[in-house]
Amino acid sequence: MPTKYGRIRRTATFLEDYAQIRMRLQRSSPLAYQALPYAMKTILDFINKFPRGMPVRYMNIEGVDVEFHLAIVDIAHRRLHVRYYVDECDVSFLMVAWIDGDDEPDYDLRVLNI
């Protein structure tokens, strides 16, 4: 990722989900496919500037409450969802991505070292 987003890390699960979204949108909605990079840039710019600025969902992991944030951006009559985690040093970890109509994918919490 460019140095502009030096405090944002991508997990393998996120990269896989994003690639699947791109392939599916390329076939099903060319307009949404073209808008996807701009939507992702909007999300990354916001996370970079305000890491804890999006709505929070708490999960209890081994007795510790962990907060996960959810960024949502409209793209051509659809919505892109990105779930991410922010550590104590304000480094953000992009966990998963999905489009409206899909269930939230599972993600690997081992990458967080919680």
Q: How far apart are CA 71 and CA 64, in angstroms?
A: 23
Judge contact between 68 and 85, C-beta under 8 A.
Answer: yes
Two tokens, residue 64: 């510790």
DSSP type of residue 82: E
pLDDT-derived band of residue 3, with 50, 70 and 90 as boundaries? low
Q: Cβ neighbours of residue 30 under 8 Å, at least 6 residues apart? A: none
The identity of residue 30, as a single letter, is P
pLDDT at 84: 94
Per-residue pLDDT reduced to its tens digit, 55-83 = 888 888 778 788 899 999 999 888 999 99
Q: Does domain 6-98 have CATH number 3.40.50.620?
A: no
| Mean of all residue pLDDT scores within the chain | 88
Q: Does the pTM exceed 0.95?
A: no
Four-CA torsion 112, 87, 19, 57, nearest 10 degrees: 100
pLDDT band at 113 (very low <50, low <70, confident <90, very high): low
Domain boundaries, the chain: 6-98
